[in-house]
A = this chain, B = another copy of it.
Amino acid sequence: MADVTLKDVAVRAGVHVATASRALDPDRRHLVNAETRQRVEAVARELGYRINVLARGLRKGSTGLIGVVVADLGNPFLPPILRGVEEVLGPRGYLIAVSETHEDPETLRRVCEQLVARRVEGIVISAAHAGDGDFLATVEQSVPVVLAVRRVSGGGHHTVTHDDVLGARLVTEHLVKLGHRRLAQLRGPQDVSSFAGRARGFQDVLTEYGCTEVTTGEPAREPTTAEGRRLAAALLAAGGPRPTAIVAQNDLMAIGALDALGEAGLRCPEDISIVGYNDAPLTGHLTPPLTTVRLPSHALGRRVATTMLSQLDQNQEPPTTVALEPELVIRASTAAPADEEPEVVRAVRSRDRREARRR
């Protein structure tokens, strides 16, 4: 607990604190006589001196702290993002303070207040909901903000995200090309841009290919296994034609759907194909291994950090939104529908029939 101050070092080294300060600062050491500097350094080491970052920050008006606000630390795509952020910001001397909102807007507010009061130099937010734009604008008056993963409606913020529309297109087209024409979607909370984007990609493909959506109506209250199971069960229990494929907006809901299928005595992919989103750990080890969408989370983290750096360097660039491209991961939970024939097959058949009649 012994707090050695710069003054202690200076006295012991027989110099003024200012000199000691210079000698110990990498950026100003060259202003000091080499011999003096070495003496100061020696004493500092001997006394176990550690600079008080607080005092320096107060004087220089900088804390070297970057706040990162996430919705849920348990989300498995976060670690690669955090690692990417840290990889870039750490070597620049920044320390990362992580806070969690649990998806609660009130907590988001509180946490941002906290961070601003602590004079963090920037805030990375990956916990935004669609309607948080106005609030974030006020935060941005105090400190640079970079949105990660989730956008807010209205734009106007530096944003680095995944291209969710594209990702959803990728999986949905994959299913359509397998021959699926009646698809259902398991939606997450639509005030989160990721889920909203995935919904749009899905819809777009359905429209383009003239497919039918079988719908349960409501989205999941939370994007969890339990909710996925509940929604999928409702889907299967409903009257009317069953979908041949289910697009879950994340892996957890896909797993819930898998459970619901099993309980209904149906098989995946024989009876119904299921896809997830995120490529969470172990999804490749499920039965069946899950077809899903892989996100470049680590790259996203790095990109978030560089975006933040350029803001910190006062490069007053206008807000941009960059969307990184996800990747389709095809595994065994998707196959051609059993009761319906793929387009090509049908085309061939009808041609055959036509020819047969002609003879």
Chain B residues, CB < 8 A from A211: none
| Distance between Cα atoms of A54 and B54 in the complex (Å) | 6
* A234 interface contact, C-beta 8 A: no
Known pairs A54-B118, A86-B99, A95-B118 / 8 extra A-B pairs, C-beta < 8 Å: A50-B116, A51-B117, A54-B57, A54-B58, A73-B83, A74-B83, A82-B100, A281-B282
| Interface contact A53-B117, CB-CB below 8 Å | yes
- A280: chain B residues within 8 A (beta carbon): 281-282
8 Å CB contacts to B: which residues of A73-117?
A: 73-74, 76, 78-80, 82-83, 86, 95-100, 113-117
Q: Which of B1, B50, B115, B116 contacts A113 (CB 8 A)?
A: B50
| In the assembled complex, A335 has its CB within 8 A of some CB on chain B | no
Is A11 an interface position by the 8 A CB rule? no
CA gap between A3 and B116 in the complex, in Å: 10
Count of chain A residues near B, Cβ 8 A: 50
Smallest CB separation, A81 vs chain B (Å): 10
Check B54 against A63 for contact (C-beta < 8 Å).
yes
Tell me the bound Cα distance from A119 to B141 in angstroms. 28
Option from B83, B116, B286 in Cβ contact (under 8 Å) with A286: B286
Choose among B58, B63, B99, B285 the residue that contacts A96 (Cβ–Cβ < 8 A). Answer: B99
Note all chain B residues with C-beta closer than 8 A to A53.
117-119
CB-CB contacts below 8 Å: A14-58 with B: 50-55, 57-58
CB distance from A224 to the nearest CB of B (A): 11
Which of B1, B72, B76, B97 meets A143, CB within 8 Å?
A: B1
A258, CB-defined interface residue at 8 Å: yes
Quick check: is A356 within 8 A (CB to CB) of the other chain?
Answer: no
Using Cβ atoms and an 8 Å threshold, which residues of chain B touch A320? none
Chain B residues, CB < 8 A from A51: 117
CB pair B97–A96 under 8 Å, yes or no, is: yes
